[in-house]
Each structure stands twice: as C-alpha cells, then as structure tokens.
Amino acid sequence: MLSPLPLALLTVALLAAGVFVVDRLADLREARAEAGHGPLGRLIEIDGTVVHALVRGEGPDLVLLHGASGNLRDFTYQLVAPLSRDFRVIAFDRPGLGWTEPLPRQSETPRDQARLLQRAADRLGVSNPIVLGHSYGGVVSLAWALERPEETAALVLLGSVSNPWPGGIDLLYRVNASAPGGTLVVPLLTAFAPMGRIDTALEAIFAPQAVPAGYGAHVGAGLTLRRDSLRANARQLATLKPEVTRMSHGYPGLEMPAELLHGEADTIVPLEVHSEPLSRQMPQARLTRMPGVGHMPHHADPQAVIDAVHRAARRAGVKDG
C-alpha cells in the first residue's frame, strides 16, 4: 500500500495530466473552429483590446451589434449585402465573441462594451450612426445611445433586451461566469461538448422558425465554444440584470427615433417584458409586433428589418426616400 505522501503526489500528478489533456483537446477544438472562420474585416486595437469590424457599402453610417453567443457573421448571412446598397454598414464583433478580444472582467457591462465599440467606430470615421442591435446587442445599442445621445441618429432594435425580467439566468451561465467554473468547467465544455449541442441550441434560438440552411456553418457556431468566448458570454449574461435595471431609468431621455421589432413568439426575450415597456419608455419608439416570429426576426423576415432601417433613417433625417 502506498504511504499518504506518495499517494498524494500520485493524485496531483494524475490531476495535472488530466488538466493537460483537457487543455490540449480544447486547443485542437478551438483551432478547428477558427480555421475556416477567420476575421472578415479589420482588426483594430483600442486601448490594448483588439476589435473586429466589418465595413461594407457607402451612405449614412449603420452600426450592427449581434446578440449573445454570436458574432457579426450572423448579419452577413442575409442582411449586410442588401443594407450596404444604401448605407455604410459597420458590423462589430462584441467583446469576447467572434474576433474581438474580451474586456477585463470588471468592465464588461453593456455601457463598457458600447464605449469600446464607439472608440473603434471613431477610428473608422463613423458619424451620427443608426445603431441596430439584436437581443443582447440591443441592450448594447441602448447603452450606445445613453453614452452618446446627441451623436446617435436612431436605433433599430430586434428582439432586444431592455428591461429587468422576472427570475434569473440558466445555472450553466452562472457556473461558467464564476472563477471556479471558468477554470474547471469551461475547458471541459470546449474539449468535449458534442456539436449536436450547438445544433440543439440553434433550434431553440430560432424556434418556432427553422434554422436556415447552412446557417451554423456560415456563422462558425463552433467559435462560441472557445474558452474565452464561453467565459465572456457567461459573465456578460450573469451581470446583465442589475445593469439593465440601472440603464432603464435613462430611457425616457433618449429622444432619437427608435424602431422596435419583436416576435410575438419570442420566448427567449419576451415581447411583453422588454419591447412593450420600452415602447412606452422612449418618447420616439415605434413597436412592430411580428406574429408567429421567434427570437430571430432578421432571419424570419429580413425585408421587415431592412424596411425598419429605412424608416429610422427617414425619421432621423439622415436619408431621403
């Protein structure tokens, strides 16, 4: 029988070997995810943080901000091309997702994210933009407007988070957001989570609509399983409710035009909790309810979103016709 000391050393050695193997498997998984889904645009360093921005087209500036667990490729599936015929479209990867680096964990609020992306937009010469945001990107769009109310022409919000909701968030997000979970659980998810889990998650996000053909491959859904992305996404979600509660007090002061599009069948960000109250909180908000549409209105009805952008531009006086 081994004495206590050698047994303890053996246990430590086995644990270290296990950690090493998990990390190497996670490295390989991340490399495969990144190989076919590199940056589509420019990488801009802002105060030590790299920001990924895609710029297309000419015209009034239109900023696009994607939702949780996503990246800017969500908009390139079927929205950037038609919008870039009439606007200069600037799509960003939000911090920690896609190819934008995470912010420090104490500076990941929607307003922190908005400030970083605004500095990147400044570098690109963006002026008085319309800001479009989906889901979590919607609350970052609201933060953008709160930070620069006189320099935000209009908002277009798609299934946007905007107000505090009853209850909390899923346990896995809370675990991944914690220091122990980020250290121990996240690498296991990166290394071993089956790709079928991503397919199931996409089906839930798009329901009751079907996931569009080739969507997962187009956006590089595997990028979401990278360790830094899992941690950043979880921390942003885990700290969102108190931040959005504070932000909501400032909505009555946002006087720019706002087009709110929200699916009536959205169970992830419910219409009655978010866009309905927001339509009363913002003086110039107009709500378009989308019957039968879930959490991805820009895929369920891209033309409705394109029309909303044009309405916002006309109302803001940045574009005629």
**pLDDT for the residue numbered 135:** 98
**pLDDT for the residue numbered 196:** 80
**pLDDT for the residue numbered 217:** 93
Asked if 241 and 168 touch (Cβ cutoff 8 Å), the reply is yes
**In this predicted model, what pLDDT tens digit does every residue of 177-196 receive, in sequence order?**
999 999 999 999 999 988 78
**pLDDT for the residue numbered 168:** 86
Domains, in order of start, for the chain? 42-167+241-316 (3.40.50.1820)
**pLDDT for the residue numbered 12:** 43
Quickly count: other Cβ atoms within 10 Å of residue 17's Cβ. Answer: 10
**pLDDT for the residue numbered 197:** 83
Beta partners for residue 65, in sequence order: 92, 133
Residue/partner pairs of 24-30 with CB below 8 Å, 24 or more apart: 25/191, 25/192, 26/187, 26/190, 26/191, 26/227, 29/190, 29/191, 29/222, 29/225, 30/190, 30/225, 30/226, 30/227
pTM: 0.93
**pLDDT for the residue numbered 321:** 56
Longest dimension (CA), the chain: 85
Please give the span between the terminal C-alpha atoms of the chain, in angstroms, as a whole number. Answer: 85
**pLDDT for the residue numbered 19:** 64
Asked if 284 and 258 touch (Cβ cutoff 8 Å), the reply is yes
**Residue recorded with tokens 């549409």:** 293
Asked if 283 and 255 touch (Cβ cutoff 8 Å), the reply is yes
Asked if 305 and 297 touch (Cβ cutoff 8 Å), the reply is yes
**pLDDT for the residue numbered 10:** 40
**pLDDT for the residue numbered 1:** 46
Alpha carbons within 13 A on the beta-carbon side of 310: 13
Mean pLDDT by 10 residues, the chain (321 residues): 48 52 91 94 96 98 97 97 98 98 90 98 98 98 98 98 93 92 93 87 96 95 94 96 97 98 98 98 98 98 98 92 56
